[in-house]
Amino acid sequence: MDDLDLILVTQSNVLDYDRFGRLPLDRIDLYKSLVYPRMVYHEGGFRSHLDYINHKTSGKFFDEADYPERRKMLNIWNLPSMSGVHLLNYLSQFGFRVRVINNLDSEWDWFVEAYSNCKRPPLVGISSTFYLSWKEVGHVAKRLRTVDPDMEIVLGGAFANAETINGTPADFEPRMRRYGIRYALHAFNSEVDFRNLLAARRGSGDVSTVRNLASISGSLKGGSFDAGSKVWNNPLLGLSEIPPNWHQLDMPFLNRTIQIRTASGCPFACAFCSYPTTAGGWSTVAADHVRAHLDSIMKIGGIDRIIFIDDTFNVPPHRFRDLIKIFAEYPFEWFSFLRVQYTTEEDIRMMKESGCAGVYLGIESASDTVLKNMNKRATAKQFAEGVRLLNKYDIPYLAAFVLGFPGETEATIQENVDFIRNNGVRFYSLKEFFYMPHTQVHEKRDDYGLTGMGGKWAHRTMNHEDAARIKLDLFRSIDTSTNIDPDTSLWYMAYLYDQGYDFKAIERVQADINGLMKRQLDTAGSAQSWASAPLAPAELNAAE
């Protein structure tokens, strides 16, 4: 086997369930909004919903299994990431030898084997798409360096890019030294920069000329640090240069589903969202180019489901219609984000006929007052009409709501509840407002009396503690719709679908888990009673 140029680690578990399990149960009221409804207490600890299913169906938790077993068990990070396969496809056209480790927690043995088999140590990449802190990045880097203390690690992706928006590349230095990271690619669209870094390591260039690269030369502790330049990369360049060679790639982690994108950025400017800022622009790929990629994907064998991760998949409407006409020519089902306020009945009918298996609706609020503050460019009436059409054509969807945005009151919260109940919403999620500095609402903070940052904030009509309490109150009281963890949302449903669960089975399984969590919340005053709450029977096996 030829030496690898790069081993790319794209995902790993980001929640420390053991840490939550060590918290005292008799003080659950102090942290219940942190664990519920994202976790369930089962067999002496807090578990992910998928790990609860693992134990109920096999008698074993994910972390009790060996690595080959873990690859067959339910874990959201076993769903193939877009970032890994996207970069693998891009770099392979230049002759670079790349191995993707999709889930480090399932494929650690594969990583060790691949790294150890190289005569010349390869560069090891950490994709930061799903990490929110340096602590999470550092945990992965430290684990990787147990294989080789001198390992050369490069960090890239969304977290790295976001760090430069409120800071500068120079701010990377102390963290890179602390965690043993030699390089950090901090552009949002860093494919070209990554290619140039790999070429320089091969001897075909100079690392110092690679754009958007912070680096340490010599000793990681005492060597010189170079913050590098910060230059905007055209997102269309990365998308249009991706060859339709998916069927030629080595992706042993695939099951039935693959994720791709056909656009970058977002043309909207929702006041709570940082994506338009971090992405820096909006670009789309021509429909005919998408067709070439679909032709290649269909040659892989066994792939019959695609998740399109474009933030605004159905905008502009004419391009969306062109795409779904193309989808109708292929034997695959698909998932996507959907701005349902811009759809017509004809769009929804075409979606159904082209194999749409489910969509994510970022409704955020059913209050026109809050929607206006959010700059959503939509009304509750438009959302209701879109949901009616999805229900009519039986397209599953997750309706996502944000609680506590400036202007939120008990009355606007009730509008959300009424919307869910009156419109037959089948799956929904609830998440508290998260206050970020590089957002539109930050620019208007004085208008709302908005203070704090991140998950701890307050404004004139609500604070984060109110929102956390309301989230749990709604979770416990809404009985006409199925709550899904907002951190995994549509991907949770698409992953279970990939694993053989139909949507009726997903609804049954989640109803069992939600019922258990609600009983635990109701008995939280008594740790002994709460910890031993009985389990409800459910059909936990995938659909035949």
Which tokens in the block code for residue 104? 């480090």
pLDDT tens readout for residues 512-525: 999 999 999 988 64
Q: How far apart are CA 26 and CA 4, in angstroms?
A: 51
Q: How confident is the model at residue 466 (pLDDT cuts 50, 70, 90)?
A: very high
Stronger pLDDT, 78 or 232, i.e. the higher one: 78
Residue 280: what pLDDT? Answer: 57
User: Could you check whether the bond before residue 316 is cis, i.e. omega within 30 degrees of 0?
Assistant: yes
Phi, psi (5° rounding) for residue 243? -75, 150
Q: Determine which of 38-42, 160-164, 182-186 has the lowest per-residue pLDDT on average.
A: 160-164
pLDDT higher than threshold 60 for residue 15: yes
Residue-wise pLDDT for 172-218, tens only, equals: 999 999 999 999 999 878 889 999 999 999 987 789 899 999 999 99
Before 37, cis peptide (omega within 30)? yes
Q: Give the pLDDT score at 537.
A: 43
- Report pLDDT digits (tens) over 490-505: 999 999 999 999 999 9
**Which tops the pLDDT comparison, 283 or 393?**
393
Any idea where the domains of the chain sit in the sequence? Answer: 6-13+79-235, 259-500
What tokens appear for 364 in the block?
Answer: 């955020």
- Closest by alpha carbon to 313, among 278, 345, 287? 287
Contact of 81 with 227, CB cutoff 8 Å: no
CA distance 315 to 324: 12
* Helix, strand or coil, per DSSP, at residue 96: coil
252's CB contacts (< 8 A; 6+ apart) are: 110
pLDDT of residue 463: 97
Distance CA 177, CA 85 (A): 29
pLDDT of residue 276: 55
380 and 367 Cβ atoms separated by less than 8 Å: yes
The reported pLDDT for the residue numbered 269 is 57
Q: Of 162 and 181, which is predicted with more confidence?
A: 181
Query: Lowest-confidence range among 25-39, 90-104, 336-350, 471-485?
Result: 25-39
CA 407 vs CA 404, 411, 413, 429, 462: distances in Å: 8, 10, 10, 20, 8
Write down the CATH number for the domain with range 6-13+79-235. 3.40.50.280
Helix (H) or strand (E) holding 180: none
202 burial class (0-12, 13-18, 19+ CB within 10 angstroms)? exposed
Task: Name 61's Cβ contacts closer than 8 Å, sequence gap at least 6.
Answer: 43, 47, 51, 54, 55
**Cα–Cα dist 270/372, whole Å:** 10
Furthest-apart CA pair in the chain: how many Å? 66
Give the DSSP letter of residue 62: G
Identify the pLDDT of residue 534.
47
Q: Which residues pair with 42 in a beta bridge?
A: 45
CA 240 to chain centre: 23
Return all residues near 316 (Cβ < 8 A) that are at least 6 apart: none
Least confident segment among 5-9, 148-152, 261-265, 394-398: 261-265
CA–CA gap between residue 120 and residue 20 (Å, rounded): 41
Q: How far is CA 80 from the centre of its chain?
A: 11
Q: Could you tell me the pLDDT band of residue 95, with boundaries at 50, 70 and 90?
A: very high
Kindly provide the residue ranges of all beta strands, DSSP E only, lying in 173-239, ordered along the sequence: 183-185, 213-216, 225-226
Identify the band that residue 311 occupies on the pLDDT scale cut at 50, 70 and 90.
confident
Distance CA 26, CA 524 (A): 8
Q: In a 10 Å sphere around its CB, with 0-12 CB exposed, 13-18 middle and 19+ buried, how is residue 465 labelled?
A: middle
Alpha helices in 184-241 (DSSP H): 191-201, 235-240
The pLDDT assigned to 500 comes to 96
pLDDT band of residue 1 (cuts 50, 70, 90) is: very low
| CATH classification for the domain delimited by 259-500, as one of 3.30.720.120, 3.80.30.20, 3.40.1160.10, 3.40.50.1010 | 3.80.30.20
Which residues 6+ apart lie within 8 Å of 443 measured at CB? none
Counting residues of the chain whose pLDDT is more than 90, the rounded percentage is 75
Rounded CA gap, 169 and 165, in Å?
9
Mapped onto helix, strand or coil, the DSSP state of residue 211 is: coil
3-state class of 155 per DSSP? strand
Asked if 196 contacts 210 with a C-beta cutoff of 8 angstroms, the reply is yes
191 CB burial (10 A radius; 0-12, 13-18, 19+): buried
pLDDT of residue 164: 84
Q: Measured in Å, how far apart are the chain's first and last C-alpha atoms?
A: 40
Q: What is the mean pLDDT of residues 289-295?
A: 93
Helix axes 380-392, 410-422, angle to 10 degrees: 20
What is d(CA 76, CA 106) in angstroms, rounded to the nearest whole number? Answer: 11
Higher local confidence (pLDDT), 335 or 279: 335
Give the pLDDT confidence score for residue 264 in this predicted structure. Answer: 74
Mean pLDDT of all residues in 433-449? 90
Burial class (CB in 10 A: 0-12, 13-18, 19+), 443: exposed
Per-residue pLDDT tens for 391-440?
Answer: 999 999 999 999 999 999 999 999 999 999 999 999 999 999 999 888 88
Q: Residue 255's CB: how many other CB atoms inside 10 A? A: 17
Model-wide pTM > 0.85: yes
CA dist 163 and 214 (Å) reads: 12
Amino acid, res. 1: M
Helix (H) and strand (E) counts in the chain: 24, 20
Q: Would you call 204 exposed, middle or buried from its count of C-beta atoms within 10 A (0-12, 13-18, 19+)?
A: exposed
